[in-house]
Structure 1
Amino acid sequence: MVKIDTYSTNTGYVILPILEKIHHWFLFNTGIVRKNANYLKTFYRSPLMLKKINGFGGDLLFWILTGVFAGLLGGVSFEGKGGVLFIFLLSYYHVFFYCESFFSSYKGLISLDGEGQNALLYSYTIDNLWILLKKKIFTANIYIGTTLLFSDIAIFLISSTDLIVMIWILINQFIVMAAFNILLFIPSVYNPHFNFFNIEQLDDYADRKFTSSTVTLTIVGILLPIMMIPCIFYMIGSFDLKALLLFNALSLLMIIAIMIPVLLMLKKRTIKKDLMFSR
């Protein structure tokens, strides 16, 4: 039995057929996913992914917290102030910490420079590494978004939360998920290390650590508190329900407005001809 860094090929024999069926039955039936099927296959068939299969589809902590939220949201509507707090925490904090966990578990696969010297193939295209980055952003959104969708379905079935509330949660989760994923790609785009020695130590470089910490602190210390402001004002009685929903919508539009220039900056960075050779 061959082993690669504690990964047993027996794991692949058991897990891979299941993953193949899930992808072909559920994901590959949609057009946009089918177009990126080949790249997704390189992700879920990778020994690095199978080595950390416990984090695929949400780790134990993620599902424990999902169960906790299912209990807290039982019969909750926007009318109850305590329930609104749990709704906002589920919509934002729960999503961010899962995105961060996913990137941490699969940094060798999801990072732009995780391709190593194979990324050189993309440098001969018109858009250079921008094509590769788009594939990686898409992969992160597909897997994280699918997990969030199933967790929300579980919460809905267990807690009998109002359907309108669940739709609101889903919209919020998917918008901030896309934003968080874009931001979490910043370290590997601005501090790439294509000539790494160990793919699982990509985040150990000093410049990468600094950028990652800055991004995380910005999200946790600035972005998430801003997203919670409508909830706080609603709980202390400064906002009524209409104002809560209005300012929540405005905060989501603000997130979208911020992410567009960030994405354009990432594109500008990745189409540089010398990005790979400068690292």
Structure 2
Amino acid sequence: MKAAPPEPDVPVVVGVDGSEAALRAVDWAADEAALRGAPLRLVYASRWDRYEGAALARDLEGPPERVHAVEIVDSAARRARRRRTGPRLAVLTVPEEPEYALVRESRAAALLVTGTRGRGGLAEALLGSVSLTVAGHTHCPMTVVRPGHDHRTRPHGRVVVGVGDGPATAAAVRFAAEEARRRGAVLEAVRAWRQPARETPDTPLAAGEHLRGAHEPRAAEVLDKALGEVPAGVVTHRRTAEGHIRTVLADASYAADLLVVGAERRHRPAGHLGRVAHGVLHRSACPVAIVPGPE
């Protein structure tokens, strides 16, 4: 696997909405753009035209929702400039549903970044309403900055990638390797395997132990193949773990700066992420990158 060539004119796009969660996403996106030497593009989308009439617009300097939008993007731009220098910052404010605007922006982006709001059930509900929808349709890799993530914490120096069986795994490993290279971090590739039932009417104990002994070496072989073309200079760790992949990756996220998973697109309904990506988006302790596979 060759290192991806730099694309300095392809922006990192971040969705903003005025929330603290979105500002954390701006922090992440600004740092990522600086690492890539890429422009940063702030996007605020809202259907304010649903609520503002022409008469109100004539009476005021501008519709309140439109004025509010300007305040939001200005605040986000000030936040971004505190984290990076240079004029390569653009803002876009559009009267459109945020899901549609962000998916469209992803067609010409190197990376799309969003945040989530709240914690627990509220976080899940809001994540599902925007970020999950966008993640299921994005045309470029997308990072979701999880609730509670704090950029002031000391980096772990580790990028974790989940290694699956589908074609999206190759894209996820490429992306994760590049992220590890940019950060000078270790790339940890994780492959989960499940222990078969110890004994069933169809699988006696001896056969079950034999099957278990075959699963872990097979997982190690899959890891070796997935990492076979990682560029020289990227330090890699391979880890097999018994258990469900969603649980294994969620546990690994507590010692990671970024968790990367592939999103399979073939043979699935449009916009369907799959259980692994959906699960880690809700449970990860660190930002999650969703890398779309071939359609």
- Normalised to the residue count of structure 1, the TM-score between the two structures is 0.28
TM-score of the two chains, using structure 2 as the length reference = 0.27
More strand by share: 2
Bigger proportion of residues as helix: 1
Structure showing greater Rg: 2
